Amino acid sequence: MQRDTQIFDLIQLELHRQQHGIELIASENFVSRQVMEAVGSVLTNKYAEGLPNKRYYGGCEVVDKVEQLAIDRLKSLFGCQWANVQPHSGAQANAAVMLGVLKPGDAILGFDLSHGGHLTHGSPVNFSGKLYSPNFYGVEKETGLINYDTVAEIANACQPKLMICGASSYSRDWDYKRLREIADSVGALLLADISHPAGLIAKGKLNNPIPHCHIITTTTHKTLRGPRGGVIMMGQDFPNPMGETNPKGEIKMMSAILDSAVFPGTQGGPLEHVIAAKAVAFGEALSDEFDTYCNQVIANAKALASAMVKRGYSIISGGTDNHMMLIDLRTKSDELTGKLAEKTLEKCEITINKNTVPFETRSPFVTSGIRLGTSAITTRGLKESHMETLANWIDKALTNHQNDDVLLEIKGQVKDFMKDFPLYG
């Protein structure tokens, strides 16, 4: 067969883009070569509907071992009793949990998307907001922080069946113990979607949701530095409170409910090549080297946040506990929008994303904020001492957004600088 040069030339271009630029998108990272090798392996050819040793297809003896390794490694990484590694993404993991524990129309309570939450936590444009009755909590205007007393009041008012914590742009840690008390007080199940900080949680750098939340979902490709995908975990299995029974009339355990909500509930055949890559990444994350990496991710985020504050930018909540920060550009300049900042920095090969800020006044396509994260640049090898340089470039670019000569000059400097931090060299 002829080589598909159209596609492989494009992949080469993307490799160069990743090598030359500074990647500050908080949800991205660079996987190891062995993670990519697993994703590109012959396992992509195999159908394996079902679970290890309980499949609907023959020839699964190898993928059974692969998937079991992924499950076992994930369980030891997070110290959880049960895991399903088949969700194709974080959104699929959340869809399966909701299908498993809710009926259409049930009330759910999640963190408002415009305050830092996620689409799948009840946004009206997402299945979670269309199929269920969404309610939201947010951050306080003055502090940029979640007030748990307010969450308790909202939960009491809306009586959710499922409470969701976790975010895509909240730079502070979560009080899972308090959230569980609130969930218990209204008889709700508590789901933690730890997609962003999962790697940092696994290594004990942030509060641990496993002992407090009934169900935990995460993507595997952010701070966890694995292939694109999702997983579902439970610290401990428990009888499902919805009272669903098996054919023998016994109350089904939640693990059985969630397994069948993934398949056949919301997915068909699992992606065993991706599951193999998840296993590789979980193995890497179990290492001491990954612990050092997580410390550096946080140190870099704190250093970048203070370097930006020094230059007149305001961070929502005043700082960061994790790998990211949400910057409100309005304190710096009235004309600077998230959209303009994203486009400007792109011209310098600095990749970020525009982001709504709490109590946003602009549309989600324009926004007043940007989100920066340090997972990917830390994988490249950048340290705290480099964050002043990055903040300088970001600030210089944003204050000279109309001057293409300045942007071109920064682009050249960025490219030279990143040569010292080789990627897939």
In the complex, what is the shortest distance from the CB of residue 194 to ligand DSN, in angstroms, rounded to a whole number? 12
In the complex, what is the shortest distance from the CB of residue 250 to ligand DSN, in angstroms, rounded to a whole number? 37
Could you say which of 65, 75, 178, 228 is catalytic?
228
- Cβ proximity to ligand DSN: between 113 and 188 the closer is 113
- Cβ proximity to ligand DSN: between 118 and 354 the closer is 118
- Binding to ligand DSN (CB under 6 A) within 213-242 occurs at none
Could you say which of 222, 354, 371, 411 is catalytic?
222
Q: Strand, helix or coil at 96?
A: helix
- Cβ proximity to ligand DSN: between 88 and 411 the closer is 88
In the complex, what is the shortest distance from the CB of residue 118 to ligand DSN, in angstroms, rounded to a whole number? 6
Could you say which of 193, 272, 321, 349 is catalytic?
193
Q: Strand, helix or coil at 155?
A: helix
In the complex, what is the shortest distance from the CB of residue 119 to ligand DSN, in angstroms, rounded to a whole number? 7
Torsion, CA 241, CA 246, CA 249, CA 254, rounded to 10: -20
Distance from C-alpha of 356 to C-alpha of 337, rounded to nearest angstrom: 10
Q: What Cα–Cα distance (Å) separates residue 16 from each residue in 19, 22, 279, 340, 422?
A: 5, 12, 27, 24, 11
In the complex, what is the shortest distance from the CB of residue 222 to ligand DSN, in angstroms, rounded to a whole number? 7
- Determine, following the binding rule CB under 6 A, whether residue 306 of this chain makes contact with ligand DSN: no
Q: Strand, helix or coil at 15?
A: helix
- Binding to ligand DSN (CB under 6 A) within 263-302 occurs at none
Whether 371 and 360 have beta carbons less than 8 Å apart is answered as no
In the complex, what is the shortest distance from the CB of residue 375 to ligand DSN, in angstroms, rounded to a whole number? 11
AA letter at 369: G
Residue 216 phi, psi (nearest 5): -130, 130
- Cβ proximity to ligand DSN: between 291 and 346 the closer is 346
Q: Which of 84, 92, 168, 266 binds ligand DSN (CB under 6 A)?
A: 168
Note if 228 is an active site residue.
Answer: yes
- Determine, following the binding rule CB under 6 A, whether residue 378 of this chain makes contact with ligand DSN: no
Neighbours of 36 (CB within 10 A): 15
- Determine, following the binding rule CB under 6 A, whether residue 27 of this chain makes contact with ligand DSN: yes
- Binding to ligand DSN (CB under 6 A) within 88-107 occurs at 90
* Structure tokens that stand for 273 in this block: 């090549």
Could you say which of 28, 46, 47, 181 is catalytic?
47
Note if 222 is an active site residue.
Answer: yes
Neighbours of 130 (CB within 10 A): 12
- Cβ proximity to ligand DSN: between 93 and 294 the closer is 93
- Cβ proximity to ligand DSN: between 89 and 400 the closer is 89
Q: How remote is the C-alpha of 218 from its chain's centroid?
A: 7
- Cβ proximity to ligand DSN: between 210 and 326 the closer is 326
Could you say which of 217, 218, 219, 378 is catalytic?
219
Helix (H) or strand (E) holding 22: strand 22-23
In the complex, what is the shortest distance from the CB of residue 373 to ligand DSN, in angstroms, rounded to a whole number? 9
Whether 137 and 157 have beta carbons less than 8 Å apart is answered as no
- Cβ proximity to ligand DSN: between 138 and 235 the closer is 138
Note if 47 is an active site residue.
Answer: yes
* Structure tokens that stand for 169 in this block: 């742009």
Distance from C-alpha of 289 to C-alpha of 164, rounded to nearest angstrom: 32
Note if 288 is an active site residue.
Answer: no
Whether 128 and 109 have beta carbons less than 8 Å apart is answered as no
Q: Report which of 91, 316, 105 is spatially closest to residue 193, judged by C-alpha positions.
A: 91
In the complex, what is the shortest distance from the CB of residue 165 to ligand DSN, in angstroms, rounded to a whole number? 15
Count of residues interacting with ligand DSN (CB under 6 A) = 4
Dmax over Cα atoms in the chain, in whole Å?
A: 74
Distance from C-alpha of 8 to C-alpha of 4, rounded to nearest angstrom: 6
- Annotate 319-361 with DSSP letters as a single string: S-SSSEEEEEGGGT-SS--HHHHHHHHHHTTEE-EEE--TT--
Note if 177 is an active site residue.
Answer: no
Q: Report which of 274, 192, 283, 196 is spatially closest to residue 228, judged by C-alpha positions.
A: 274
Whether 219 and 281 have beta carbons less than 8 Å apart is answered as no
Binding site for ligand DSN (CB under 6 A): 27, 90, 118, 168
Q: Which residues are catalytic?
A: 47, 49, 193, 219, 222, 228
